[in-house]
Structure 1
């Protein structure tokens, strides 16, 4: 997939997450989407400076919109703005990453329970089709195709719960987790396990076994956390090679 297409997809996700009914100027949101997409795509790495003067020059605006855009991204966990220091790309500790994944696992377990009871046959069939396309992408060595299939699966899975409050709560974690999900899915062995986990999850939904579906999705997320923890604890060159 062309690099520009990845950026556009990340921008679309960020725009959706930021549109929570708050009135933000389109310029501020546009800047936030551009910077945020570069962070999620790995073009800006944890700890990188985000100079508001340089950003203002780039976007041909004053420093105020760029500062507001960075503040939006700070709320979503992509940017850190330390007191009396320059903003930078957020660098989450292993403890913070663990908290994100454990909360996400609990939320997705509830999604599974709701979807097991409320998803339509058409929605479950779509999830099965997405898993099939994820498997095809993995077999073809299409890493980006698999990653975006995974993102799409979880979007449609959350929608199948028909619980908008739960979907909004998950949105508060989506940007924090997207960077890490891409890192874990760079591991071919993790991809094989991921496909099997997603296939079993859809089977549980087809059988209307909500309890099993909740257990499977919890195991999947916590398994990804274990994989990610071992990667983050590895020497920096190994992590960069994986990414």
Structure 2
């Protein structure tokens, strides 16, 4: 997979993607992440890539010419995605869709945003990682890259990991425990120590359902409610409480 990132802070992208899962994936040849400095295409000694908005107002806006020149010079993998608060919400479904591509590119906004002609005539899509504003799109780009890359075949040491995480079935993940079996008076649930794989699977599913209902009920609505099996599991839990 080839990923191109257009930014005024390439060192932010290069530094993070050289570490941990992303770094190992790059070393193994599973992904290629290349950052491109938008300032390289500025046509003045000060490497100017922004200007004040027409009509007045606070802040600065990324100019069309250096951004277009940078993208057209590189001819990056498509789609080219603008990272912006006004984009569609990034989620697990979107990450999965991008992970199935051979490559894509990200354009990091900065300041008050980008000239509208960049959005309309250069970018193929627009993504937001949440309903809040950052100083620029670099952190958002890294969020997208990591969420996407870890879904690629061979990236994670255990391929089952990505199939059991939060949001895979629009459910939150179950709790995790490790040694010691008792810490400051609190014990690990006995089911997890039983060695009974079916009971462990059942316990984890129940805990996942309960966590989602308690913390993110919107996810239950999103998936169209509970399955028959899930309803029966929760009914069994209620019976044992009585």
TM-score, scaled to structure 2: 0.27
More strand by share: 2
More helix by share: 1
TM-score, scaled to structure 1: 0.27
**Over alpha carbons, which structure has the higher Rg?**
2
Structure with the larger RCO, 1 or 2 (CA within 8 Å, 6+ apart): 1
